[in-house]
């Protein structure tokens, strides 16, 4: 009998030791099992499994539904949290925590991944994802997730609030509804090697993406809209940057209350972005304060092959174009060299500034940029502007578009909105035609391959139209979750925008 008891005890000890061994997959219980799935004392809750996990472990959620938490989910070193089915929603309930502690996900380690989960702050959470700013973190991946709805009414509310993160990867995510007027969609401070890709950032009180003091940043394939200030803002010192340190490519930025893109530093590469319906400039490189006209250094700037629109400004401390006194240029680059203006006779335009192949389209008055003599250079130049009173300016040539768009072509097609976006079951795409036209409306995948033809070579009358997509392909099979494009062609004019399927 003692022999058998000995074996039983050894077996139990072996099981216990395996439960704390790295590399385990742990499955969370169903959503209705507990009222607080972050409580570490609730066995097999999400919070409990995260608390016992070791580096290399993965916590899987295999049940669809709404998981309520009232305390933060703590992500430890080397742990992955992933939904294995669609429809996993983690929401923040009424919490008894102090306001400063009301966050949904607390990052407390390196090599952490969160995948395929919707986090809804229910307008109660201070932040959806947060980390301790006193520590340095490495390798944080957020992918295929939705982060939304932080609280209003306080001086916080950033959806993603991350500091000192090296190797941050955000991809295929929706970040929106930062309803506080002082809140950012994504705020990443003093971080290195940041990739934000194929994501939607919308409905923020301040900037959509705010990256102060960031090194080696790439923002690609994102849609950024309905921001209280800039779409993308990034400032950094330029004393040790490498070429193309700040890369912003293939994004759609629109309906921003300030600039579309506002960055400064060294090695800035802005290409193939579609920017429109901005209040100030579409692309503004440099920084300026009204009190002392301070400029942060900006060198090695490339602005190439963008489709951009100038804005309208009624804010006193921003300089309007001297020609009209109210219209901002589509692009403005402010070079400053340790407080002194450049000596343009020795200025190497091929190295310090490359601007070309940008297509300007308009809102109200035509897009134009002004040189120091006050003469207007329409549609083909960029304004290099030193803002100190009496300082000189220089206009750097760029390549002119093949032809000017006529007013009819310019206004022929406008996309009003797609709703809902992200899409669960079906999507409605609204667009307006200025005149009767032959129209195509296609759905494409991320590689540009055809998914479904919604309208094919059909003549439509002028006015507003709505087409519905039920998220199936040409064979009637539901498509998988992820990012897609909707392609609309009316006559010779084409527009492409992004949508997300997240069931």
Buried b (16+ CB within 10 A) or exposed e, 145-171: bbbbbbbeeeebbbbbbbbbbbbbbbb
Residue 412 is predicted with a pLDDT of 65
Neighbours of 131 (CB within 10 A): 24
Q: What is the mean pLDDT of residues 304-321?
A: 53
- pLDDT tens-digit profile of 139-187? 999 999 999 999 887 667 899 999 999 999 999 999 999 878 889 999 9
For residue 483, tell me if it sits in a domain: yes
Task: Yes or no: say if 202 and 231 are a contact pair by the CB < 8 Å rule.
Answer: no
Q: What is the mean pLDDT of residues 266-274?
A: 83
For residue 131, tell me if it sits in a domain: no
CA 176 to chain centre: 9
| Whole-number Å distance between alpha carbons of 266 and 120 | 37
Residue 448 domain boundaries: 411-501
Count of structural domains within the chain:
1
Higher-confidence position of 473 and 313: 473
For residue 292, tell me if it sits in a domain: no
Whose structure tokens read 């009414």? 153
Neighbours of 287 (CB within 10 A): 18
| Whole-number Å distance between alpha carbons of 429 and 440 | 13
Task: Yes or no: say if 479 and 451 are a contact pair by the CB < 8 Å rule.
Answer: yes
Task: Yes or no: say if 196 and 226 are a contact pair by the CB < 8 Å rule.
Answer: no
CA-derived radius of gyration, the chain: 26
Whose structure tokens read 């580096």? 55
- Which has the closest alpha carbon to 327: 360, 302, 300? 360
Task: Yes or no: say if 59 and 46 are a contact pair by the CB < 8 Å rule.
Answer: yes
- pLDDT tens-digit profile of 221-267? 999 999 999 999 986 544 443 335 789 999 999 989 888 998 877 77
For residue 56, tell me if it sits in a domain: no
What is the pTM assigned to this prediction? 0.67
Higher-confidence position of 283 and 91: 91
Q: What is the mean pLDDT of residues 186-205?
A: 92
For residue 165, tell me if it sits in a domain: no
- pLDDT tens-digit profile of 10-47? 444 444 434 444 478 999 999 999 999 999 999 999 99
Residue 292 is predicted with a pLDDT of 36
Residue 310 is predicted with a pLDDT of 58
- pLDDT tens-digit profile of 127-141? 999 998 888 889 999
For residue 493, tell me if it sits in a domain: yes
For residue 477, tell me if it sits in a domain: yes
Listing DSSP states for 20-42 in one string gives TSTT-EEE---GGG-S-TT-TTS
Q: What CATH code is carried by the domain that includes residue 482?
A: 2.60.40.10
- pLDDT tens-digit profile of 338-356? 333 332 223 333 344 556 5
Residue 299 is predicted with a pLDDT of 65
DSSP H/E element including 409? helix 407-411
Which pair of structure tokens corresponds to residue 134? 């006193």
Does the structure show a pLDDT above 60 at 102?
yes
For residue 468, tell me if it sits in a domain: yes
SS3 15: helix
Work out the percent of the chain whose per-residue pLDDT is above 70: 68
**Phi, then psi, of 99 in degrees rounded to 5:** -55, -40
Q: What is the mean pLDDT of residues 269-278?
A: 86
Residue 497 is predicted with a pLDDT of 77
- The DSSP output letter for 363 is B
């Amino acid at each position: 009998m003692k022999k058998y008891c000995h074996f039983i005890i050894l077996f139990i000890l072996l099981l216990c030791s395996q439960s704390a061994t790295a590399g385990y997959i742990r499955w969370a219980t169903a959503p209705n099992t507990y009222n607080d799935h972050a409580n570490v004392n609730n066995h097999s809750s999400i919070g409990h499994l995260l608390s016992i996990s070791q580096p290399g472990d993965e916590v899987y959620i295999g049940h669809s539904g709404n998981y309520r938490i009232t305390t933060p989910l703590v992500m430890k070193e080397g742990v992955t949290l992933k939904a294995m089915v669609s429809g996993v929603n983690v929401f923040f309930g009424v919490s008894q925590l102090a306001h400063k502690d009301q966050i949904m996900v607390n990052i407390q380690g390196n090599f952490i991944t969160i995948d395929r989960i919707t986090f809804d702050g229910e307008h109660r959470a201070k932040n959806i994802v947060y980390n301790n700013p006193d520590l340095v973190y490495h390798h944080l991946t957020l992918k295929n997730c939705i982060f939304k709805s932080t609280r209003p009414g306080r001086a916080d509310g950033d959806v993603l609030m991350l500091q000192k993160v090296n190797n941050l990867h955000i991809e295929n995510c929706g970040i929106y509804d930062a309803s506080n007027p002082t809140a950012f969609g994504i705020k990443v401070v003093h971080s290195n090697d940041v990739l934000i890709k194929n994501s939607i950032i919308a409905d923020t009180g301040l900037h959509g993406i705010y990256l102060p003091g960031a090194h080696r940043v790439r923002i690609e394939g994102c849609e950024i809209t309905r921001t209280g200030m800039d779409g993308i803002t990034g400032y950094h010192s330029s004393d040790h940057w490498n070429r193309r340190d700040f890369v912003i490519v293939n994004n759609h930025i629109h309906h921003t209350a300030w600039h579309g893109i506002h960055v400064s530093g060294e090695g800035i590469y802005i290409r193939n972005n579609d920017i429109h319906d901005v209040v100030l400039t579409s692309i503004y490189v440099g920084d300026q304060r009204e009190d002392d006209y301070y400029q942060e250094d900006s060198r090695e700037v490339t602005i190439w092959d963008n489709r951009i629109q100038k804005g309208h400004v009624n804010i006193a401390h921003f300089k309007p174009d001297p020609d009209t006194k109210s219209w901002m240029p589509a692009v403005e680059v402010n070079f400053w060299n340790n407080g002194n203006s450049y000596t343009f006779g020795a200025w190497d335009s091929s190295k310090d500034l490359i601007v070309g192949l940008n297509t300007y389209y308009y809102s109200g008055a035509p897009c134009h940029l002004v040189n120091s003599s006050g003469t207007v250079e329409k549609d083909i130049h960029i304004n290099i502007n030193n803002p100190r009173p009496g300082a000189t300016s220089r206009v750097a040539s760029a390549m002119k578009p093949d032809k000017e768009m006529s007013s009819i072509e310019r206004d022929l097609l406008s996309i009003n909105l797609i709703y809902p976006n992200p899409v669960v079951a079906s999507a409605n795409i609204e667009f307006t035609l200025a005149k009767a036209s032959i129209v195509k409306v296609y759905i494409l995948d991320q590689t540009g391959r055809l998914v479904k033809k919604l309208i094919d070579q059909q003549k439509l009358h002028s006015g507003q139209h709505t087409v519905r997509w039920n998220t199936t392909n040409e064979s009637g099979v539901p498509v998988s979750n992820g990012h897609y494009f909707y392609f609309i062609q009316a006559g010779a004019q084409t527009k492409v925008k992004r949508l997300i399927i997240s069931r």
